[in-house]
Amino acid sequence: MVHAIRIHSYGGPEELKWDSIELPAPGPGELLLRHLAVGINYIDTYHRTGQYPVPDMPAVIGMEGCGEVIAVGEGVSEFKTGDRVAYANPIGSYAEERLIPAERVVKVPDGISSEQAAAMMLQGMTVRYLLNVTYKVGPETTLLFHAAAGGVGLIACQWAKHLGATIIGTVGSEEKAELAKKNGCTHTINYRTENFAERVRELTDGKGVDVVYDSIGQDTYPASLDCLRPLGLWVSFGAASGPVKAFDIGILSKKGSLYATRPTLFTYTAKREDLLASANDLFDLVSRGIVNIAVNQTYPLREAAQAHRDLEARKTTGSTILIP
Ligand code: NDP
């Protein structure tokens, strides 16, 4: 028997229960992992509330972790007992141990700690596709990144700075503004006290930005569209304030023939070769000290509910992990 945090029905953080579960031996193509650290992501709250349905109830939620391989299923040749691996999919990480398809994990290089690995796989690989694939960010790019002091946000500031971009970041407090600036953000806007679309126009001499990365959803729509230059790209990749409601596509033409996309990491890393390329790029930047992973909150696994409360109350900065 091992312990896991499971939901038995959708709802608030109180639905996260400390349960005992039994795991079978790994099946063909699977690994059994003993977690060393587990990552917390905003998507975990969508699974908890049912905004994103879980496959079965009761469900062990959580997408991300770093662990040691303790048993190997038939047909797996790439991994052996004792290997330290990390992953950002599939669901089921809030547990002392778990089964996982071997093709979804990657080996963690020696210079990267288990805490860092658990904190960065999902957020870091997300930043990698947002800045390199969804829109190719470079020295000529001016971008707007919402929630710039969050888990994805702090990694994005550092990575976009490395690519030479001008970064405008929105934040919910003055402390968060300082933190975002320390991590490479060129300008910050406190969107609780300032009209961010007006500020973006001022900061860009009326031109607008090339791309808006919007993970806030309801509260920043449609103002995010007003920040874009003609033919600019709106990347709606999250819904921390609730999902954007159905909208008339004509709004994209009225606001300057804009482009819109609603991407997810799981498409960008669906093929094993893409997962390996993404993880390698991330490990490389972290190992070289270009991107620092700020593990700013650590909780015992058993206290996952408190971690969710703090994340949803906008009390956290950078990344959050759980320790089994
Ligand atoms: P964060 O650490 O960024 O936490 C969310 C932040 O959003 C808060 O700290 C807060 O920052 C801001 N926020 C603004 N409005 C609200 C609100 N009403 N309620 C709560 N928070 C709010 O989380 P993550 O780094 O884990 O994820 C960031 C976003 O990216 C999420 O929306 C997530 O779903 C999305 N995401 C999408 C992926 C994809 O592939 N599509 C992959 C990974 C993440 P502040 O106080 O500064 O406003």
Instruction: Write out pLDDT tens, residues 25-63.
Output: 999 999 999 999 999 999 999 999 999 999 999 999 999
Cα gap 111→123, rounded to integer Å: 19
> Which residue's C-alpha comes closest to atom 11 of ligand 1?
147
Cα gap 164→131, rounded to integer Å: 11
**Residue-wise pLDDT tens digits, 64-82:** 999 999 999 999 999 999 9
Ligand 1, residue 318: give the atom nearest the CA. Answer: 2
pLDDT reported for residue 254: 98
Structure tokens, 41: 């992501």
In the reported structure, the alpha carbon of residue 149 is separated from the centroid of ligand 1 by a whole-number distance in angstroms of 9
CB 97 within 8 A of CB 35: yes
Could you tell me where in the chain the CATH 3.40.50.720 domains are found?
A: 139-262
pLDDT reported for residue 140: 98
Does 3.90.180.10 match the CATH number of domain 2-120+272-323? yes
Count CA atoms closer than 13 A to 156's CA, side-chain side: 30
- pTM more than 0.85: yes
What separation in angstroms does the CA of 159 have from each of 94, 134, 267, 289, 299? 28, 14, 21, 11, 27
Residues 6+ apart with CB under 8 A from 188: 148, 168, 169, 170, 171, 176, 177, 180, 181
**CB-defined site of ligand 1, < 6 Å:** 41-43, 122-123, 126, 147, 149-153, 171-172, 176, 215-216, 219, 237-241, 263-265, 311-312, 314, 316
Cα gap 265→271, rounded to integer Å: 11
Question: The dihedral of CA 306, 321, 221, 182: what is its sign?
Answer: positive
pLDDT reported for residue 248: 95
Mutation test residue for ligand 1: of 146, 215, 220, 274, the one with most atoms within 8 Å of CB: 215
In the reported structure, the alpha carbon of residue 128 is separated from the centroid of ligand 1 by a whole-number distance in angstroms of 17
Mean pLDDT in residue range 279-287: 98
Which strands, in side-by-side order, build the sheet including 2-7? 17-21, 2-7, 59-60
Residue 132 pLDDT level (bands cut at 50, 70, 90): very high
Ligand 1, residue 315: give the atom nearest the CA. Answer: 9
Ligand 1, residue 123: give the atom nearest the CA. Answer: 43
In the reported structure, the alpha carbon of residue 320 is separated from the centroid of ligand 1 by a whole-number distance in angstroms of 12
Mean pLDDT in residue range 224-243: 98
Ligand 1, residue 265: give the atom nearest the CA. Answer: 40
In the reported structure, the alpha carbon of residue 214 is separated from the centroid of ligand 1 by a whole-number distance in angstroms of 9
pLDDT reported for residue 79: 98
User: Percent of the chain beyond pLDDT 70?
Assistant: 100
Cα gap 41→307, rounded to integer Å: 10
In the reported structure, the alpha carbon of residue 150 is separated from the centroid of ligand 1 by a whole-number distance in angstroms of 6
Ligand 1, residue 312: give the atom nearest the CA. Answer: 20
pLDDT reported for residue 63: 98
Mutation test residue for ligand 1: of 42, 43, 244, 274, the one with most atoms within 8 Å of CB: 42
Name the pairing type of β-strands 106-107 and 97-101: unpaired
> Which residue's C-alpha comes closest to atom 10 of ligand 1?
314
Question: Which fold would CATH assign to domain 139-262?
Answer: Rossmann fold (3.40.50)
Cα gap 317→295, rounded to integer Å: 9
| Residue 167 backbone class (left: φ over 0; alpha: ψ -120 to 50; beta: rest) | beta
Q: What is the mean pLDDT of the chain?
A: 98
Mutation test residue for ligand 1: of 40, 41, 127, 191, the one with most atoms within 8 Å of CB: 41
Could you tell me where in the chain the CATH 3.90.180.10 domains are found?
A: 2-120+272-323
pLDDT reported for residue 262: 98
